[in-house]
Structure 1
Amino acid sequence: MPLYRYVKSVAIFSPTDLPARAGGIRGLIGKVLPNVFIVVGATFLTTVAYPFVTYQLSNHRWQQGTLLSPVPEIEVIQAKGIVSPLSEPMAPPVLAAQNQQPEIVGDVDLTKASNWFPSAPSTKTRISKISHYQLSIPKLKIDQAVVQIAGDSLNKHLIQYAGTALPGEYGNTVIFGHSVLPVFYNPKDYMSIFSLLPTLEKGDEIYIDYDGIQYKYIIDSYSEVKPSEVEILEQRFDRQALTLITCVPPGTYLKRGVILAYLSKL
């Protein structure tokens, strides 16, 4: 009777097989990594670099349309006696060489309107039966955004700076709004609502609904100031002005972007 014996076979690899497999993995990584870097770079350009480029272009466009005066405007109107500071005389200007403190302090909560112009004099809240009203900017798709008079929390609504003129009055109605990188812009989110202010142009319209009356303002100019330059908060009683303020460049707190508009008859 024949005898059978079963022998378990064992696969035997050639010594050249393993390096070939390792080389294949390295080759795959070499093909994938460049694509990953391209995607990451494109994402960076879209979310960070592109908004800064468009911001610079918008700022350059406004500067081209502005004529420089040999005498600062604030000195002219002060001489005419038509400027009223908010409460007390403004602090003397500080030269850049004298100001050694940084413009931005990491511990400052800039969702509070009171921290935007630290050197501004204290103001008294005007007595008004109206505590809130609405602001709309059709070009930016801002519709009936709530403005609180003399408030402080910019993450809940826009804020009208205390002591400034009420809508429709002679003087300067000053409104603060928060901003972020334009890629995150949402006209219904008060943390990003003013992100696109620098993209507005002369002649664009702003509407305010206050105490049952709608006021139409026409944009005249855009400028940028340092947090120490509080002259933009002063009141001029020869005009009915509206000033919108946010932080610029987008997503930073280096300066304050300022839109100036004047009341127009509907």
Structure 2
Amino acid sequence: MIAQIRRILKRPKVKILAKFFLFFFLLFILFLNYKYLIKIVSYFNYRVLSVKIVLKPHIPSFLLEFQNVEKNQTKEIRGYLFIPKIQIKAPIIFPVNNTNTSPLYLKKYLDKGVLFYPGSVLPGQSGQTVILGHSAPANWPKINYDTVFSNLNNLAEGDEARLGFNNDIFVYKVVKKVFLKPGDEIPDLPLTNDENVLILISCWPPGKNYKRIAVAAVLKF
């Protein structure tokens, strides 16, 4: 019986059919597992990309977070703010009218992200880059960006804030945190003439209009 099977398998037509069967069987297996294979390929591509970025000592691996920033930019969205410690990842909205600081005018932009305050300097320039954001009480539903700056008080000296703007990345280190009454000026920081400082401002306590919290961070690279 076994000898007969061997003779049949040695026939040319049977060999061809066997090869076709094996070929289509492999195709069928690949088809069933294509999603898994894509994940494997993507994983290795990601690893290669990470290695290329790490090779540049002045640009850390979090650059991966910014790789789609330029694609997502609009006339209003011109950058992104990342603060790892308090899990902030938000677009920076630039008002169309860069001289209008009316609260009613600015409010409509705060629903879309964090707001670049008109009249402050651009990231990387000498002076203060002021960013405003909403805050809300605990357990407030995460609608739009109502809660984006709710945990601003959890930042401490040395924490990082990362800002993507104009196809570049700016990394800031927190140096000071102050609480102000509405209308108070932000206290001066001991900066040199060419330093850029990021000021993050929101209502305090979260969701209330009693005071303002301001977190200052100096540009490191």
TM-score category (smaller protein): 0.5 to 0.7
- 1:194-249 per-residue CA deviation (whole Å, 9 max, x = no partner) reads 00001111111000000110100000111011111134599x77221000000001
| Equivalent residue for 1:203, pick from 158, 178, 197 | 158
2:198 aligns with 242
| 8 Å Cα contact 1:140/1:196 also seen in 2 | yes
What stretches of structure 2 of length at least 5 have no aligned partner?
1-74, 97-105
Match of residue 115, structure 2, among 153, 159, 163: 159
Equivalent residue of 1:183, what SS?
coil
TM alignment of 1:93-172, pairs within 5 A: 132-143=78-89, 145-150=90-95, 152=106, 153-172=109-128
TM-superposed deviation, 1:157: 1.6
Contact kept in structure 2, 1:225 and 1:257, CA below 8 Å: yes
- Between the aligned partners of 1:137 and 1:262, the Cα distance in structure 2 is 14
| 1:258 pairs with one of 179, 202, 214 | 214
Shift of 1:155: 1.2
Q: Which residue of 2 aligns with 1:230?
A: 185
Give the structure 1 partner of residue 5 of structure 2.
none
Greater relative CO, 1 or 2 (CA 8 Å, sep 6+) = 1
Per the TM alignment, residue 130 of structure 1 is displaced from its structure 2 partner at its CA by 8.0
Q: Is the 8 A contact 2:83 2:161 kept in 1?
A: yes
1:146 maps to a residue whose letter is P
Letter in 1 for 2:129: T
Q: Which deviations, in whole Å up to 9, do the C-alpha atoms of 1:169-189 show, x marking residues without a partner? A: 110000000000133374x84
Structure 1 unaligned segments of length 5 or more: list them. Answer: 1-128
1:62-101 alpha-carbon deviations (Å, 9 max, x no partner) = xxxxxxxxxxxxxxxxxxxxxxxxxxxxxxxxxxxxxxxx
Q: Is the 8 A contact 2:76 2:93 kept in 1?
A: no
TM-score w.r.t. the length of structure 1 is: 0.46
- Distance change (3 Å), C-alpha of 1:256 and 1:185: farther
**Contact map agreement 1:172 1:233 (CA 8 A) in 2:** no
- Report the CA distance shift for 1:223/1:136 in structure 2 as closer, same or farther (over 3 A): same
Q: Quick one: structure 1 residues 241 and 185, their matched pair in 2 at CA, closer, same or farther if it must change by over 3 Å?
A: farther
CA distance in 1, matches of 2:158, 2:186: 24
- The structure in which a higher percent of residues are helix is 2
Where 1:246 maps in the other structure, the secondary structure is strand
Percent of aligned pairs with the same amino acid = 32
Equivalent in the alignment of 1:111 = none
User: How far off is 1:137 after superposition?
Assistant: 0.4
Q: Tell me the matched-pair count.
A: 134
Summarize the Cα distance change of 1:147–1:217 in structure 2 as closer, same or farther, 3 Å threshold.
same
Q: Which has the larger radius of gyration?
A: 1
Q: Distance in 2 between matches of 1:171 and 1:219?
A: 16
Q: Which amino acid aligns with 2:201?
A: I
Q: What letter matches 1:208 in structure 2?
A: L
